[in-house]
């Protein structure tokens, strides 16, 4: 036979153990046994649904669990080293923390801490960070220059000011894509380089932006390159037409107002004046007819010149294209 004598070997607020002395009845042999409680393992913090990508006002759950440890277990959740909430489990059941993502301030580093009555200080888990998924805003397509000419290199930039990263951009001319997808990990514009080689390179350009937010694809504004020099040529033509119209108007005023008035006065003087000979009146009539013929000839020459100027400018524009 034998008897057991057990006593407390060590105890404080952090750890306790005991020793048991087993004495045989013949007092010739004895055995010593040490009994230790289960040590706490490092807790693990994981998202319940397996994803850390969240949207605004979404409910999320975090699970903090241990592989070993003596219950009861006290779990505490921290965000940026600040205590959020505490749970106590009578066994090794994981601590489940329910959160709501209400604003960007709810993003950040989360950790949990596990403690029991046998260990002091507790142990901390791994850290988790949520990623906020935001819908993208309409991208803006722009270029340093809006005018180009044949043989010139130009650039196009596409940027969405809002939306969770990364953002993927694609450039289009009409309905045809002209670039491979460009994924931007930072809030920076995607840029492509173009070479204006022919008139077919002038047209409507757009870009498309999308991110991981579900069903969130948006197209930019339209952008057009215009042929350099077209505006200056149009301005010259417009000024020339205005000047020509002024000259034509002045000529018509001479024809229909000044000359008839002068003619009437001369004829009246010729008819009533006894100091004039009859042949002078006839001479004036001939001069008047010749003047009218010359004005009409000049008028038609001006119209022909205007037509030639218009044709030459159209030909020049087509050659530039």
Q: Is the pLDDT of residue 171 over 80?
A: yes
Band (pLDDT 50/70/90 cuts) for residue 56 is confident
pLDDT, tens digit (0-9, with 9 covering 90-100), for 123-162: 999 999 988 888 999 999 999 998 888 889 999 999 999 9
Question: Quick one: DSSP state of residue 15?
Answer: -
What is the value of pTM for the model shown? Answer: 0.51
Q: Give the range with max mean pLDDT: 33-37, 52-56, 311-315.
A: 52-56
Answer with the residue of higher pLDDT: 100 or 294. 100
Cα 131 to Cα 126: distance, rounded to the nearest angstrom: 17
The region of weakest confidence among 141-145, 180-184, 248-252, 267-271 is 267-271
pLDDT score for 156: 97
pLDDT score for 280: 54
Asked if 162 and 216 count as a contact pair (C-beta separation under 8 A), the reply is no
pLDDT score for 6: 46
Asked if 141 and 204 count as a contact pair (C-beta separation under 8 A), the reply is no
State percent of the chain over pLDDT 90.
39
Answer with the residue of higher pLDDT: 280 or 194. 194
Question: Which residue matches tokens 């001319």?
Answer: 173
pLDDT, tens digit (0-9, with 9 covering 90-100), for 187-215: 999 999 999 888 888 889 999 999 988 78
Q: How far is CA 191 from CA 158, 178, 208, 219, 221, in A?
A: 7, 12, 13, 16, 15
The region of weakest confidence among 18-32, 73-87, 243-257, 262-276 is 18-32
Tokens for 145, please give them.
Answer: 């220059």
In this prediction, residues 65-83 reach a mean pLDDT of 92
Answer with the residue of higher pLDDT: 255 or 19. 255
Q: How far is CA 236 from CA 145, 232, 245, in A?
A: 23, 6, 14
Phi, psi of 26 (to 5 degrees): -85, 0
The three-state DSSP-derived secondary structure of 126-192 is CCEECEECCCCCCCEEECCCCEECCCEEEEEEEECCCCCCCEEEEEEECCEECCCCEEECCCCCEEE
State percent of the chain over pLDDT 70.
62
Cα 59 to Cα 48: distance, rounded to the nearest angstrom: 11
In this prediction, residues 212-238 reach a mean pLDDT of 78
Helical H runs in the chain? 230-253, 259-272, 278-320
Answer with the residue of higher pLDDT: 57 or 269. 57
Asked if 114 and 64 count as a contact pair (C-beta separation under 8 A), the reply is yes
Three-state secondary structure call for residue 254: helix
Cα 121 to Cα 124: distance, rounded to the nearest angstrom: 9
Answer with the residue of higher pLDDT: 291 or 46. 46
């Amino acid at each position: 036979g034998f008897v057991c004598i057990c006593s407390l070997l060590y105890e404080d607020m952090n750890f306790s153990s005991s020793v048991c002395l087993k004495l045989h009845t013949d007092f010739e042999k004895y055995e010593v046994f040490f009994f230790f409680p289960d040590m706490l393992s490092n807790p693990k913090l994981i998202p319940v649904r397996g994803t850390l990508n969240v949207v605004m006002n979404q409910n999320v759950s975090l699970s903090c669990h241990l592989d070993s440890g003596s219950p009861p277990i006290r779990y505490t959740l921290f965000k940026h080293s600040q205590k959020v909430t505490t749970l106590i489990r009578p066994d090794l059941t994981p601590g489940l923390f329910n959160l709501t993502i209400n604003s960007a301030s709810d993003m950040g580093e989360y950790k949990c801490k596990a403690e029991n009555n046998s260990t002091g200080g507790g142990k901390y888990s791994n850290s988790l960070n949520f990623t906020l998924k935001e819908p993208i805003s309409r991208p803006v397509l722009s270029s340093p220059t809006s005018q180009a000419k044949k043989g010139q290199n130009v650039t196009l930039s596409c940027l969405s000011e809002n939306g969770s990263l990364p953002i993927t951009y694609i450039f289009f001319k009409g309905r045809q894509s002209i670039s491979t997808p460009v994924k931007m990990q930072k809030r920076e514009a995607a840029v492509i380089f173009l070479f204006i080689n022919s008139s077919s390179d002038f047209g409507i350009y757009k870009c498309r932006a999308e991110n991981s937010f579900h069903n969130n694809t948006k197209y930019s504004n339209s952008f057009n390159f215009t042929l350099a020099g077209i505006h200056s040529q149009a301005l010259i033509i417009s000024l020339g037409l205005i000047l020509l119209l002024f000259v034509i108007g002045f000529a018509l005023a001479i024809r229909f107002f000044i000359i008839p008035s002068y003619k009437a006065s001369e004829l009246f003087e010729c008819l009533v004046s006894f100091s004039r000979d009859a042949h002078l009146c006839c001479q004036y009539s001939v001069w008047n007819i010749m003047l009218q013929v010359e004005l009409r000839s000049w008028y038609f020459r001006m119209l022909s010149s205007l037509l030639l100027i218009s044709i030459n400018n159209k030909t020049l524009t087509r050659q530039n294209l």
